[in-house]
């Protein structure tokens, strides 16, 4: 699996090149006569010189990060031709093949359209729903069945190692799916071991299962779902509703807060208009923004402050740069300061 603009592509370079070759052929463009995998790279007929018709393939793409003699690192996915000396990214090459001179913008869209079905936990601000606007999203009332939930009820060491306590695992019904099958758009199946997080609405019905792969940073939830505030149902079960609630981006950060004895909800992103409405309605006095201390997190903080207005006290949890709540020990967490 490799990434484009920080997003995972559910295919390897060989599949991408093969698909590219066949789609170009459908458009009457015949290139990539030869494509063959060699250790750490794939060699193919260069599209940049001789009108893409060279006889011996002299262009290559790296499939792993390669360290060269001078210590420079050539990133996986770098295209390099030994004959014409062209160096570019895969997405730039795809753009070029389709006759676009757009610094890889078309190539990126092409990769997303053909191979992308997943989302990274730390890249929530990126909207992967390319069909948005064409169809209306409908909140489904088909809850996940108790039978399915029961099939995930195992405690995997991964989640305990992430500082989440067993009480919290129980309360949120966090589980484990040993064989989650993801299909890329070209039909290839990927089998992943995942931690499962039932996402419930205020009535306790499970709207969908969010999953975190235990072997990569892959985070997944079903396509087209409307994300509620994660934790809204669990808060309603408390004997006394908390006076203040921390708002986190990720589920793991939210569960870390609970494990450290503070109440929290997660946005699974940096907030949607629906979630801000839900935040406004929470029967608490104060909201503490615990979004990640980066550009996307800061935009989310500003947006929430703007739309919550004066209906609640809103403060910022000041998290050290480059960290998120789950990175912190309980002591570090307890010592975090709040700002306005
Ligand atoms: Zn070339």
For residue 59, how far is its CA from the centre of ligand 1 (angstroms)?
A: 6
Give residue 60 CA to ligand 1 midpoint distance, Å: 9
Please check the confidence at residue 40 and state whether its pLDDT lies above 90: no
Q: What is the 61 CA–ligand 1 centroid distance (Å)?
A: 12
Q: Distance, CA 84 to ligand 1 centroid (Å)?
A: 4
Query: How far is ligand 1, taken at its centre, from the CA of residue 90, in Å?
Result: 14
Phi, psi at residue 223, to the nearest 5°? -65, 135
According to the model, what pLDDT value does residue 28 have?
Answer: 87
Structural domains in the chain, CATH included, are 2-116 (3.90.580), 146-339 (3.40.1360.10)
Cα–chain center distance at 244: 28
Distance 27 CA to ligand 1 centre (A): 22
CA distance 294 to 275: 20
| Nearest Cα to Cα of residue 303 among 335, 329, 279 | 279
Express each pLDDT in 108-153 by its tens digit.
888 877 776 554 443 333 344 444 444 444 444 689 999 999 999 9
| Ligand 1 center to 48 CA (angstroms) | 5
pLDDT number for residue 206: 94
Rounded distance from Cα 95 to ligand 1 centre (Å): 16
Q: What is the pLDDT of residues 53-93, one digit of tens each?
A: 998 999 999 888 787 777 787 887 899 999 999 999 999 99
- Which uninterrupted H or E stretch holds 334? helix 330-334
* 293-322 average pLDDT score: 90
- Interface confidence (ipTM) of the complex: 0.98
User: Which protein residues have their CB within 5 A of the ion that is ligand 1?
Assistant: 46, 48-49, 81, 83-84
Q: How far is CA 85 from CA 21, 44, 120, in A?
A: 22, 14, 34
Q: Tell me how far the alpha carbon of residue 93 lies from the centroid of ligand 1, in angstroms.
A: 11
Q: Is 240 exposed, middle or buried (0-12, 13-18, 19+ CB in 10 A)?
A: exposed
Say which residue, 113 or 279, is predicted with more confidence.
Answer: 279
- Cα(20) to centroid(ligand 1), Å: 17
Ligand 1 centre distance from Cα of residue 289 (Å)? 51
CB of 53 closer than 8 Å to CB of 33: yes
Residue 2 alpha carbon to ligand 1 centre in Å: 23
CA of 62 to the centre of ligand 1 (A): 15
> pLDDT tens digits for 9-31?
667 788 889 989 998 998 889 99
Lowest mean pLDDT among 2-11, 90-99, 211-220, 231-240: 2-11
Q: How far is CA 166 from CA 17, 40, 174, in A?
A: 46, 42, 9
CA distances from residue 243 to 92, 316, 326 in whole angstroms, order as listed: 52, 16, 23
- Whole-number Å distance, alpha carbon 32 to ligand 1 midpoint, is 12
Tokens 């203040």 locate to: 244
Nearest-angstrom CA–CA distance, 188 and 171 = 36
């Amino acid at each position: 699996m490799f990434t484009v603009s920080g997003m995972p592509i559910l295919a390897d370079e060989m599949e991408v090149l093969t698909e590219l070759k066949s789609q170009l052929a459908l458009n009457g463009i015949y290139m990539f006569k030869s494509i063959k995998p060699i250790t750490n790279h794939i060699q193919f007929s260069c599209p940049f010189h001789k009108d893409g018709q060279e006889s011996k393939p002299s262009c290559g793409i790296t499939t792993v990060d390669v360290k060269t003699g001078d210590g420079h690192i050539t990133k996986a996915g770098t295209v390099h031709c030994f004959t014409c000396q062209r160096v570019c990214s895969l997405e730039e090459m795809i753009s070029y093949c389709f006759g676009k001179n757009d610094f890889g913008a078309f190539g990126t869209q092409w990769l997303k359209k053909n191979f992308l079905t997943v989302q990274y936990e730390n890249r929530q601000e990126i909207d992967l729903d390319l069909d948005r606007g064409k169809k209306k999203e409908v909140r489904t009332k088909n809850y996940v069945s108790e039978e399915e939930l029961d099939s995930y009820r195992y405690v995997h060491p991964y989640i305990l190692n992430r500082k989440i306590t067993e009480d919290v695992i129980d309360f949120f019904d966090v589980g484990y799916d040993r064989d989650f099958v993801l299909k890329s758009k070209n039909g290839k199946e990927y089998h992943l071991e995942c931690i499962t997080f039932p996402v419930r609405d205020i009535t306790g019905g499970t709207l969908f299962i969010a999953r975190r792969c235990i072997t990569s940073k892959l985070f997944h939830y079903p396509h087209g779902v409307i994300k509620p505030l994660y934790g809204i149902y669990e808060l309603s079960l408390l004997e006394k509703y908390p006076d203040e609630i921390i708002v986190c981006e990720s589920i793991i950060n939210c569960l870390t807060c609970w494990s450290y004895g503070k109440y929290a909800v997660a946005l699974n992103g940096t907030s949607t208009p629906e979630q801000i409405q839900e935040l406004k309605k929470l029967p608490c006095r104060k909201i503490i923004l615990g979004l990640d201390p980066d550009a996307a997190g800061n935009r989310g903080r500003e947006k929430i402050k703007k739309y919550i207005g004066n209906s609640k006290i809103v403060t910022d949890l000041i998290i050290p740069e480059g960290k998120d709540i789950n990175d912190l020990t309980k002591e570090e967490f307890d010592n975090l300061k709040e700002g306005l």
